[in-house]
Structures are given as C-alpha cells and as structure tokens.
Structure 1
Amino acid sequence: MLLEYILLFNMLSGVVVFCSTRKHLLLSLLSLEYMVLCVFIFMFIVMMNYGYELYFSMYFLVFTVCEGALGLSILVNLVRSQGNDYLSSMSLMSW
C-alpha cells in the first residue's frame, strides 16, 4: 500500500515538473518520460499483484519507445531549424 502512495507521489511530482517547465523542450520531454516510467512501474506492480499476463506491459513499452523517438525527432528538428530548444522561439507558423 505504501508503494502505491510513493508511486502516486512520484507521478504527481512529474506532472508538476511538466506543468512548470515552459522554457526548454528537452526538460518537458524528460518529465514526460519520467511520468511514463512511473505509470509503467505502477502497471507492472498491479499486474503482478492480480496475476495478469505481462504482455500488455510489453505493448506499453513499445508505444513508450515510439513516443520517445517522436519527441527526440521533434527536438532535433527544432534545434536544426531554430538553433536552440527554447519553446518561446517556436511559432505555429513555422510548422
């Protein structure tokens, strides 16, 4: 029971960091990956407690890797076109 509360606190701290980072794209991507990692650990613990199959966690990891690769490609595109990863230098007209 205590482990679930610790994971919930970690998830909420990731949400707070994601909402407070408005300057760099890399920091927001790292906080998103942290939240996904917390969700994965929580999902793994729940599946182990209730005796479910762990194939769903493998699918979750596949989609997580795809999300990370997409975020890194957006970061590289932004750095190549703007020269930095500041979110303030990005406009919707350039996309």
Structure 2
Amino acid sequence: MLVFISILFMMYFGMYAYMNSKKHLLMMLLSLEFISLTLLLMISYLLLTFVFDNILIIYFIVIMVCEAVMGLVLLTIIIRTHGSDYIKSSILFKC
C-alpha cells in the first residue's frame, strides 16, 4: 500500500511539474516522460500484485518509446525553425 501511495505522489509531482513548466518545451516533454514512467510503475505494480499477463508492460514500453521519439523529433523541428524551445517566442499556438 505504501508503494502505491508513493507512486501516486510521484504522479502528482509530475503533473505539478508539467503545469509549472510552460516556458520551455523540453521541460514539458521531460515532465510527460516522468508521468509515463510513473504510469509504467503503477501498471507493473498492479500486474505483479494480481498476477496477470505481463505483456501489457511491453506494450506500454513500446508506446512510451514512440511518444519520446515523436516528442524529440518535434522539439528538433521547432528548434531548427524557430531557434529556441521557448514557447512564447515561437508561433506554435497562433495557428
């Protein structure tokens, strides 16, 4: 039970970091990765507790890797076109 509460605390901390990092796109992506890692911990804890099939963990890891790669590609494109990863200096949300 203590492990589950600590995982929920980590999830809350990741969401708090995501909400307060609106200047840099890289910090937002790192916060999203932290949230997905805590979700992976939660899923693996629940699967180990109830002894279900562990193939869901592998599916979730594949989805996490795809999310990370897409985020890095978008970050690279934005830095090459706009010169920095500041959200307010780019024209991302004006479209």
TM-score range, shorter chain: over 0.9
CA drift at 1:89: 1.7
TM-score, normalised to structure 2, is 0.95
RMSD over equivalenced CA pairs, Å: 1.4
Give me the whole-angstrom Cα distance separating, in 1, the residues matched to 2:92 and 2:25: 15
Aligned to 1:22: 22
Q: How far apart, in 2, do the equivalents of 1:94 and 1:46 lie? A: 42
Aligned residues: 95
Letter in 2 for 1:80: R
CA shift at 1:94, angstroms?
7.9
- Could you say which residue in structure 1 is the equivalent of 2:67? 67
Q: Which residue of 2 aligns with 1:85?
A: 85
Structure 1: gaps (5+ residues): none
Counterpart secondary structure, 1:49: helix
Query: Offset at 1:91?
Result: 1.6
**Which amino acid letter does the alignment assign opposite residue 70 of structure 1?**
M
- Provide the identity percentage: 33
1:35 and 1:93 map into 2 onto residues whose CA distance is 23
* Structure 2, gaps ≥5 residues long: none
Q: 1:86 to 1:54 in 2, by over 3 A?
A: same
Structure showing the higher helix proportion among its residues: 1
